[in-house]
Structure 1
Amino acid sequence: MPHLKMSDESSSTSSSQVVEDFEGELDEEVDSDGGKNQTGRSSPTPLSSFASLRAVIRIKQKYQAMKLRRQEMAHSLAAAGGLTGAPGRTSPKIFTFDGLTPAAFPAFPSVLQKKKRRRKRRVLFPNGGPRKTVPKQERSRATYCLYLLFAIVFVQVYNAIENLDDHVLRYDLEGLEKTLRREVFGQQGAVEGLVYHLKDYLSTYVHNKPLVVSVHGPSGVGKSHLGRLLAGHFRSVVGDALVLQYYVLHHCPREAEAMQCARNLSSLISEMVEKAEEEEKIPLFIFDEAEHMHVEILDVLLQLVASKQSNEYLNAIYLFLSNLGHSHITKHMLQNSSSISMAMTASGRHSNLVKELTPILRNTLEKHHPLWTEADILPLGLLEKSHVMECFLEEITREGFYPDHSNIERLAGEIEYYPVVAGREYSQSGCKQVVAKVNLL
């Protein structure tokens, strides 16, 4: 009996020691968790206070549960030591598990495993509040269809531009511009304006109206020469059958035959337009000395120009050459030459001339006949003495004479000029007398 009591006392002592150790570890864990919550807590906010309260409640529940398990473990150890009758240890240096079965400590291993698992599970509370999950942006499949549509539109526009370039190249407008700049003297601005109208019209084959250009200027400034150069260029491009040069004083000199001339002209234009439509080309009609055209002919031309009955009559170019309004041009240039800067280019001077003279000329021409309401006005300015000398040089070279500069100055001095205005001498007859004077050499 004394030996049994001693064993009971030793077993109870060991069990109480294990329980105290476990309780101390538990208290340390609770203190560490509480300290972390206290030290890790920053400035008190409603969200952080709520999180701290939840942590304290959870720690308290954990402590009560572990305390209950500790009491159950102590009772189970005491009951196991009394029932098995294991002898007490005689020597504190020897420790064995003889006489103990796994069922003797049913709660101890599970408590340790749960303790390890719970130590691994740490609850972290972010200081900045709950994390926000950014939604993923998914690319719509319609984006690829939109890219495909852009590519198709780009290809179509590129092909259309190439087709327009091919249509313009057929008429060789660059070569025409070079020829006009070389052959027509003193009218560089007018040449640029005429080529601009042609490029704009010939860039496509489908039109809503024909191109009507009316060139006006005093005598000898190069109107007829400009018409001959255009006719020669278009004959080489579209053929002789699609170019008409109509001289009123030659084709219809008598006014009594004006009605018959108008009918013949209408039928001729219709045939040329139909032929051009079959060949997919644009014909050119040049009417020189338009100031002498009879009213019947002008009426027929107005019907053809303003006709909307068929598309064939819309694809044509009409060029009228006349000296109508020449007095307005002469007066304007003589009065405004002093205000024109010497550094201004020929294109700039001509643009000012067109801007200021177009309303005046259009008012005068519309009174003459309504045909000019459908036309684009292109005025030609007076020629200076330097331009007349260029005309002499060209004609002398063409006739095979030696281009002596002193001889050219002498011939140019025989031409009549207006009084000098702002250092410029304007010829009264332009280059009209150049051919006659060269023939006298």
Structure 2
Amino acid sequence: MLIATTSMSFTSQKHNTRVTMSVSLVIQILILSANYVEPAYGLGMFSAITSIFNGGYDSIRCKFATCCDDWGIIKNYTGLEHDLASKLHGQHLVQKTVVGHIRGHLQSHDPPKALVLSFHGPTGVGKNFVSKIIADNVYKDGLNSPFVHMISATREFPHEGMIPFYKDQLKSWIEGNMTKCEQSMFIFDEVDKLPARLLDVIKPYMDYYQHLNGINYRKAIFVFLSNTGGTDIAKVLLDQWKTGRSREALKLSEVEDTVMRAAVNTENKNGLWHSQLISSHLITAYVPFLPLEKEHVRKCIMDCLLSRYSLQINNIHDKIIDDIVKELTFFPPAEQIFSSTGCKRVSEKVDYVMMDNDEYSNSKYNTKRHSEF
């Protein structure tokens, strides 16, 4: 993380240098202009320059850089709701929960605490994808916004014996970024692989404090992504399927407690295991991501074909999708209901089937290849 922080600081320094040079150029033009006017007007010009430099620097800077204001933080609730409804498949619990909490938090001028969402579910069901959708609709530059920060557990915290060092680094990283923008978003990927109790160091930033060292942390958003609870969620859904109850009838209250217990009692004793974030009830919502069924995987395949190949919807034959589905694995072994990897491997399987040269060149699917291939 030290390397990542240094890189981030270096990028920020270059960006700030460009902004400063642009502002300096404007001021120099104004100064040169003042040399060609009468003295009385020249003094007025210099007063204007002083006013711009002292009071209008931020306004000028925000013309060249993303600022922590309504320009940099767009809060597009309609777009958020639309993207989750149209791009995310098979996750009715996620759509309602995420939209409700994000909208409620951002519309509050004085939220009681930071928003903390903990995403749980098996691989390939959309946890990272939803994080991206949130960033795209809350921040102007999405995941590239200077106020959106993603951290990977396995990359940044690989050594169990360095927890004290990691705690200091994590604390400094959050405080430094919050100093720049109190509406920052922090995404922690692979939380289930974090060293035990590491997250306890950020507990104060998620608590109900008015300020900490002059910074208001209550406007921040924290998102945890974890595979913990995936097996338990699948069991709940499978039991429901066996009773003949529809997937969409499942309510958040029926799964959230299962997810919380799985997180706090995880067998590997990492991530949120016995975390103060749980015991202090600082996690706003445990958001369960359900295993995907074949109908949802087929929609992922359709999305991939439309985005990667020059296919029209009416030209995508069931035969194409069927062949791609056959390349994926499903469980339980007898029923074959849920995808073992969600939609994670869809893209590579689409390419594998579509790049079968003999069958493809013989127009087996009656489609055209995209120019990029």
- Tell me the TM-score normalised to structure 2 length: 0.64
Q: Contact (CA 8 Å) 2:150, 2:186: kept in 1 or not?
A: yes
Is residue 2:209 matched to residue 1:308? yes
- Name 2:256's counterpart in structure 1: 358
Is residue 2:184 matched to residue 1:319? no
- Name 2:161's counterpart in structure 1: 256
Q: Contact (CA 8 Å) 2:81, 2:95: kept in 1 or not?
A: yes
Is residue 2:337 matched to residue 1:425? yes
Residue deviations 1:355-397 (CA, integer Å, cap 9, x gap): 1222222223234123233211111111110110111111122
Helix, strand or coil: the match of 2:181? helix
- Counterparts in 2 of 1:106-121, with a 5 A limit? none
- Name 2:26's counterpart in structure 1: none
- Name 1:5's counterpart in structure 2: none
Identical columns (%)? 26
Q: Contact (CA 8 Å) 2:74, 2:137: kept in 1 or not?
A: no
Distance 1:312 1:383, change over 3 A: same
Distance 1:172 1:340, change over 3 A: farther
Q: Contact (CA 8 Å) 2:121, 2:233: kept in 1 or not?
A: yes
Quote how far apart the aligned CAs of 1:242 are.
1.2
Helix, strand or coil: the match of 2:286? strand
Quote how far apart the aligned CAs of 1:414 are.
2.4
Is residue 2:325 matched to residue 1:412? yes
The AA in structure 2 aligned to 1:322 is S
The AA in structure 1 aligned to 2:173 is L
Q: Contact (CA 8 Å) 2:75, 2:139: kept in 1 or not?
A: no
Helix, strand or coil: the match of 1:250? helix
Helix, strand or coil: the match of 2:140? helix
The AA in structure 2 aligned to 1:263 is D
Is residue 2:177 matched to residue 1:272? yes
Give me the whole-angstrom Cα distance separating, in 2, the residues matched to 1:336 and 1:255. 39
- Name 1:436's counterpart in structure 2: 348
Quote how far apart the aligned CAs of 1:307 are.
5.8
- Name 1:385's counterpart in structure 2: 294
Q: Contact (CA 8 Å) 2:80, 2:137: kept in 1 or not?
A: yes
Larger Rg: 1
Give me the whole-angstrom Cα distance separating, in 1, the residues matched to 2:259 and 2:234. 12
Q: CA RMSD in A?
A: 2.7
Q: How many residues align?
A: 264
The AA in structure 1 aligned to 2:156 is H
User: For 1:398, which of 307, 313, 318 is the aligned residue?
Assistant: 307
Give me the whole-angstrom Cα distance separating, in 2, the residues matched to 1:306 and 1:433. 38
Q: Contact (CA 8 Å) 2:125, 2:292: kept in 1 or not?
A: yes
Q: Contact (CA 8 Å) 1:221, 1:382: kept in 2 or not?
A: yes
- Name 1:147's counterpart in structure 2: none
- Name 1:371's counterpart in structure 2: 277
User: For 2:138, which of 234, 243, 253 is the aligned residue?
Assistant: 234
Q: Contact (CA 8 Å) 2:232, 2:262: kept in 1 or not?
A: no
Give me the whole-angstrom Cα distance separating, in 1, the residues matched to 2:165 and 2:124. 31
Quote how far apart the aligned CAs of 1:296 are.
4.9
Give me the whole-angstrom Cα distance separating, in 1, the residues matched to 2:350 and 2:124. 16
- Name 2:6's counterpart in structure 1: none
Distance 1:439 1:250, change over 3 A: farther
User: For 1:291, which of 192, 208, 211 is the aligned residue?
Assistant: 192
- Name 1:189's counterpart in structure 2: 93
Helix, strand or coil: the match of 1:377? strand
Residue deviations 1:278-332 (CA, integer Å, cap 9, x gap): xxxx221111111011235312122322262616112211111101111111111
Distance 1:320 1:275, change over 3 A: same
Give me the whole-angstrom Cα distance separating, in 1, the residues matched to 2:204 and 2:244. 41
Helix, strand or coil: the match of 2:330? coil
Q: Contact (CA 8 Å) 1:171, 1:237: kept in 2 or not?
A: no
Helix, strand or coil: the match of 1:324? coil
The AA in structure 1 aligned to 2:78 is E
> Which blocks of at least 5 consecutive residues in structure 2 are unaligned?
1-69, 266-272, 356-373
Q: Contact (CA 8 Å) 2:330, 2:336: kept in 1 or not?
A: no
Is residue 2:108 matched to residue 1:207? no
Give me the whole-angstrom Cα distance separating, in 2, the residues matched to 1:236 and 1:405. 38
Give me the whole-angstrom Cα distance separating, in 2, the residues matched to 1:267 and 1:254. 19
Distance 1:210 1:379, change over 3 A: same
Quote how far apart the aligned CAs of 1:424 are.
8.3
The AA in structure 2 aligned to 1:274 is T
> Which blocks of at least 5 consecutive residues in structure 1 are unaligned?
1-165
Give me the whole-angstrom Cα distance separating, in 1, the residues matched to 2:239 and 2:179. 48
Whichever structure has more helix as a proportion of its residues is 1
Deviates more, 1:328-337 or 1:361-370: 361-370
